Amino acid sequence: TFIANRFSYAINLKGPSFIVNTACSASLVAMHAAKSHLLMPHDPLDGCVCAGISLNMSPIVWAGNCAGNMLSFRGRCFTFNSSADGYGRGEGCAAVVISRGEYASDDSSTYALLAGSHTNSD
């Protein structure tokens, strides 16, 4: 799809833009790809925008999860609890801007540090 390219064009971003679709790990894999691009010595990137979104746009996935008894009957997941009976679907979106540079304790625009990342395949 071209949504990543249209977004980059709309806000005048330069450099590579692409979509990562790896199911549940897509946002983490996108963050790792952005970090890898920033660490390339020949790459002129100063920063990357990583965005993730999960929308339940079709009832087909919900119906399949219900048929497979995957969803919680109580509408809430009880992770690592003996009363767990499934999981709850949700929607959400988030975006971060990451950049290379040294950490400065007096820099008020730094909210977090990415200590590391790694990807693997199943």
pLDDT digits (tens, 9 = 90+) for 46-76: 889 999 888 888 899 889 988 998 888 888 8
Query: Could you tell me the residue ranges of all domains in the chain?
Result: 1-55+91-116, 56-90
Q: How confident is the model at residue 41 (pLDDT cuts 50, 70, 90)?
A: confident
Q: How confident is the model at residue 65, as a pLDDT?
A: 87
Q: How confident is the model at residue 105, as a pLDDT?
A: 61
Please list the residues that pair with 54 across neighbouring strands: 92
CA separation, residue 65 to residues 59, 88, 97 (Å): 10, 10, 34
Rounded to 5 degrees, what are φ and ψ at 21? -125, 90
Secondary structure of residue 71 in the 3-state scheme: strand
Query: Whole-model pTM?
Result: 0.74
